[in-house]
A and B are shown apart, each in its own frame.
Chain A
Amino acid sequence: MDPMIRLILAQGMLGLNNGVFYAMLSLGLAVIFGLLNVVNFAHGALYMLGAFLALIMYSYMGAWIGMSDLSIGFWPSLILAPILVGCFGMLIERFMLRRLYKLDPIYSLLLTFGVTLVLQGLFINFFNASGTPYPGMPESLRGVVNLGFMMFPKYRLFVIVFSILVCFIVWYVIERTRIGSRLRAGTENPELVKAFGINVPLMVMLTFGFGTGLAGLAGVLAAPIYSVSPLMGANLIIVIFAVVVIGGMGSIAGAVVTGFTLGLVEGITKVFYAPAANTVIFLLMVIVLLVRPNGLFGRQG
């Protein structure tokens, strides 16, 4: 195989691996925005929280509660951490965001920005700002797979397949099931849905918990790949915002497809001009704003 094509494929795979996180985070952001009309700045911080919960459950918790041999591994964390993050999200919704729904949505953006600073500051104080590796990668996912054009880490392949599955399930539930139809109805006209006897405030709280839980899940998946650091979410959320502007927040499928595609584009950019890899998504956002201001999948501004 031509080495150039090989390089493009390899970087593309690594890019797709980042795209997984763009897709999962912008998916959660889109779900929350759809029902609550809230742009959750804390989404990145909750992703960081998910990664830290996995790390804490694996490396620290045992020592903290005096049972040094207690350690919760990757698989239980994959379920527990998102649930905990989702519960934390629901607390934020119940006690803070709920009071802002009647106001301009910029206030909820500012509130979640404050939450981001608090979470980030707390973790910088208690953990190393520069990051800690997560040692709990399961034995069965160690090693590499031969993809023909490159040796690809088994774990990363798992993350790609698993996330595509999660994104598909979320899309299916929201667009094709009864629960999803209620959710979408609640987005269109909460008063009418209330009249049908559906507890809209509860539904809103659960949706926020679900969206933030997705961020937590992405965090756990990220922990074995990147080092777990308090700043991992903050840097990501700005990229996610650009992804969301490009895709438009109106559509769930749009958010997912845009996320994966942009990860791929970013990876391939590394082949041709590495310094631009940081900014290529932002530059694409500029182009989209010039050509299709409402985003690729957006309905209206």
Chain B
Amino acid sequence: MSDVTETTANSQSGIAEFEEGLGDPVLRRRARIWQGIFWVAMLGFLAAAPFFLYPVFVMQLLCFALFAAAFNLLIGFTGLLSFGHAAFFGGAAYIAGHVLKVWGFPPILGILTGTLFAAALGWLVGSLAIRRQGIYFAMITLALAQIVYFFALQMPFTGGEDGLQGIPRGHLLGIFNLNDPLAMYYFVAAVFLVGFLVIYRIIHSPFGQVLQAIRENEPRALSLGYNVDRFKLLAFVLSAALAGLAGSTKALVFQFASLTDAHWQMSGEVILMTLLGGMGTIFGPVVGAFIVVALQHALSGIGSWVQVVIGGTFIACVLLFRRGVVGELARLLRINSL
């Protein structure tokens, strides 16, 4: 695949429309104002949600939103399509579940262990996958994630088809009882916020700018003297670690780690969330995760028709709606970063 076509592809899809710092000051101010509005709305929702929505539902939303935001770091800001992110999400859930349940780790340490595991796994998978580009990258990550899935199925500690059940929530810092729904909720909200801020920081750092340069034109980034492979690998590890953070937190919330979390269909779902919300936008993955999870809840009565709906949404997004919800909104508001 020539790079010329890839570049046109990106600019048509809206991935490339992230050129903060360019354009006139009025536009920049407008972008800043709208970003501020989104921040306020998100923080307000985080604070108030458990009082008008079922807390477990919101916690599920937040875990998936963080997962999708982590995934977006790769697809949206580095231009790498990983089709195996469920391995980090699900793998971390199993590891966190195991150390919490069997080794009796306190919650924060358990989540950190899961996250570290995902980072290590991300380093392994990433260093293999970046040896090929484009479409091959996607196929390799999918195949490697399948190894993790088979491990989850066959290892003795994972509980096979039954999953890892009865993970204790424990006490946060030995003080707050996480079996209390509100305490658990605010802990999850805090984890989400920390993860989201880390991603925001990465995107806006010089490192993040280099990632976007690689996304736009890899040969040029290479010829400017950047060690492209190292940047890609680091982005992959960061994305995997944050996906692991989301997975470990989900295991703690539901007290359960299952094969579903590590299945390729989960990798597909996180792609859909990001695509639907808007690849390469800041708030898109969060919006996308909310839509997909809410859709799954609303349609839970119709059984496996959900899969048909999800598949149809996928097709519709790719054909008609490649900028995603937030991407389209940014275009309507004529700002280039939201």
**Which residues of A are at the interface with B, using a C-beta cutoff of 8 A?**
37, 39, 96, 99-100, 102-107, 109-111, 113-122, 124-125, 129, 234, 238-239, 241-242, 244-245, 275, 278-279, 282-283, 285-286, 289-290, 293-294, 301
Is the CB–CB distance between B136 and A113 below 8 Å?
no
Residues of B within 8 A of A39 (CB): 135, 138-139
Q: Which of B157-165, B237-245, B301-309 sits within the interface?
A: B301-309
Which one, A100, A116, A117, contacts B318 given CB within 8 A? A100
Chain A's nearest CB lies how many Å from the CB of B81?
5
Is the CB–CB distance between B143 and A282 below 8 Å?
yes
Task: Please classify the interface of chain B as helix (H, G, I), strand (E, B), loop, or mixed, using the class held by over half of its residues.
Answer: helix
The CA of A293 and the CA of B139, in the complex, are separated in Å by: 13
Residues of A within 8 A of B255 (CB): none
B310 at the interface (CB under 8 A from A): yes
Q: Mark B313-326, 1 if CB is under 8 A from A, else 0.
A: 11101110010000
Residues of B within 8 A of A294 (CB): 132
Residues of A within 8 A of B275 (CB): 110
Is the CB–CB distance between A301 and B136 below 8 Å?
yes
What are 19 pairs between A and B in contact, CB < 8 Å? A100-B319, A102-B5, A104-B5, A105-B134, A110-B318, A111-B315, A113-B268, A117-B308, A120-B311, A121-B304, A125-B303, A125-B305, A282-B144, A282-B147, A285-B143, A286-B144, A290-B128, A290-B131, A293-B132
Residues of B within 8 A of A105 (CB): 1, 134-135
The CA of A293 and the CA of B229, in the complex, are separated in Å by: 14
Across the interface, name the chain A residue whose C-beta is closest to B136: A245
Is the CB–CB distance between B132 and A301 below 8 Å?
yes
Chain B's nearest CB lies how many Å from the CB of A104?
4
Is the CB–CB distance between B315 and A121 below 8 Å?
no
Residues of A within 8 A of B13 (CB): 103-104, 107
The CA of A244 and the CA of B23, in the complex, are separated in Å by: 45
Is the CB–CB distance between A113 and B314 below 8 Å?
yes
The CA of A102 and the CA of B7, in the complex, are separated in Å by: 10
Is the CB–CB distance between B5 and A110 below 8 Å?
no
Is the CB–CB distance between B132 and A289 below 8 Å?
yes
Residues of A within 8 A of B268 (CB): 113, 117
Q: Mark B1-21, 1 if CB is under 8 A from A, else 0.
A: 100011011101100000000
Is the CB–CB distance between A109 and B143 below 8 Å?
no
Is the CB–CB distance between B154 and A275 below 8 Å?
yes
B150 at the interface (CB under 8 A from A): yes
B117 at the interface (CB under 8 A from A): no
Residues of B within 8 A of A129 (CB): 304
A293-B131 in contact given A105-B1, A245-B136, A301-B136 (Cβ < 8 Å)? yes
Is the CB–CB distance between B307 and A117 below 8 Å?
yes
B140 at the interface (CB under 8 A from A): yes
Is the CB–CB distance between B318 and A111 below 8 Å?
yes
Residues of A within 8 A of B154 (CB): 275, 278
Which one, B140, B311, B314, contacts A289 given CB within 8 A? B140
Chain A's nearest CB lies how many Å from the CB of B151?
8
Interface size on B, residues (CB 8 A): 48
Across the interface, name the chain B residue whose C-beta is closest to A230: B304
Residues of B within 8 A of A289 (CB): 128, 131-132, 140
Across the interface, name the chain B residue whose C-beta is closest to A103: B9
- A-B contacts besides A114-B315, A114-B318, 14 pairs, CB < 8 Å: A102-B9, A103-B322, A105-B134, A107-B9, A111-B318, A120-B311, A121-B306, A121-B309, A239-B143, A241-B143, A244-B139, A245-B136, A275-B154, A278-B150
Residues of B within 8 A of A96 (CB): 315, 319
B177 at the interface (CB under 8 A from A): no
B209 at the interface (CB under 8 A from A): no
Across the interface, name the chain B residue whose C-beta is closest to A39: B135
Is the CB–CB distance between A106 and B307 below 8 Å?
no
| Chain B residues numbered 44-65 whose CB sits less than 8 Å from any CB in chain A | none
B264 at the interface (CB under 8 A from A): yes
Is the CB–CB distance between B12 and A242 below 8 Å?
no
The CA of A238 and the CA of B264, in the complex, are separated in Å by: 9
5 closest A-B pairs (Cβ-Cβ)?
A117-B311, A114-B314, A121-B307, A104-B9, A118-B311
A238-B311 in contact given A102-B9, A107-B322, A113-B268 (Cβ < 8 Å)? no
B146 at the interface (CB under 8 A from A): yes
Chain A's nearest CB lies how many Å from the CB of B318?
4
The CA of A234 and the CA of B305, in the complex, are separated in Å by: 17
Residues of B within 8 A of A106 (CB): 81, 134-135, 138
Is the CB–CB distance between A125 and B271 below 8 Å?
no
B312 at the interface (CB under 8 A from A): yes
Chain A's nearest CB lies how many Å from the CB of B26?
32
The CA of A37 and the CA of B154, in the complex, are separated in Å by: 36
The CA of A115 and the CA of B308, in the complex, are separated in Å by: 9
Which one, A110, A238, A239, A241, contacts B271 given CB within 8 A? A110
Across the interface, name the chain B residue whose C-beta is closest to A244: B139
Across the interface, name the chain A residue whose C-beta is closest to B308: A121
Across the interface, name the chain B residue whose C-beta is closest to A106: B81
